[in-house]
Amino acid sequence: MEVIVKGKHTAVSAQVKDYARAKVGKLDRYLPSLREAVVEIAREGTRSASERYVVQVTVDSSGTFLRAEERASQPRAAIDQAVDVMARQIRRHKQRLYSRSRSTLAKEVTLRKAAPEVEEPEEEEELILGKVVRVKRFSIKPMTEEEALEQMELLGHDFFLFLDASTDQYAVLYRRRDGHYGLIIPEVS
């Protein structure tokens, strides 16, 4: 796995880069399909010294991207925390893959047997971390980014799905931790 270490608004020392490469490089033992990891280290001018350094780790696992962001007073501590969060995310991702493959296998077996009464395996239910408990449907009209931002603020939400009037594509507007906003525009690959 290739590990790329970048500094954002700060210079990163060679020791910190080597430390980040060593820590993040160990993640491929959890998920061997990891191709690349990008570690971004930023220093922010916050009042809180405990959140001065921000480390963002993004890994690519055969087209699936996992991301962790942590803050700490020192870059090494933030790297440690981000790697711990990433390890948990990788484990969850592997459980979902395992659960999906088991449910597909169980469906194939039931189709072969054509048994009218089929019970779900109990193991599968233990691996599911959450389930959809509510579905909301709403009409959507084309709007500008400014209108979407205003609507999101009126609703008091942290994100808002809208149809961009200028591009006629769906987009997601979200509130970032730093108080600014981000925009996600999906592209069909």
Strands of the sheet with 142-143, listed across from one edge: 142-143, 159-164, 169-175, 181-184
Which of 94, 125, 155 is at the close of a domain?
A: 94
Structure tokens at 44: 């922010």
Domain count, the chain: 2
- Domain carrying residue 36: 2-94
Query: 93: helix, coil or strand?
Result: helix
User: What pLDDT does residue 188 have?
Assistant: 80
- CA separation, residue 165 to residues 157, 160, 169, 183 (Å): 21, 15, 8, 14
CATH number at residue 12: 3.30.160.100
Residue 45 within a domain: yes
- pTM exceeding the 0.85 threshold for the entire prediction: no
Residuewise pLDDT in 10s, the chain (189 residues) = 888 888 887 888 889 889 988 998 888 887 777 888 889 998 887 777 777 888 998 888 776 778 888 988 888 999 999 999 888 888 887 787 777 666 665 555 555 555 444 444 444 444 556 678 888 887 788 999 988 888 887 777 889 999 999 998 999 999 988 888 999 999 887
User: What pLDDT does residue 170 have?
Assistant: 93
Same domain, 77 and 146: no
User: What pLDDT does residue 121 have?
Assistant: 44
Q: What is the largest CA-CA distance in the chain?
A: 65
- CA separation, residue 94 to residues 86, 99, 133 (Å): 12, 8, 23
In this structure, is the dihedral angle defined by the CA atoms of residues 84, 90, 95 and 98, taken in order, positive or negative?
A: negative
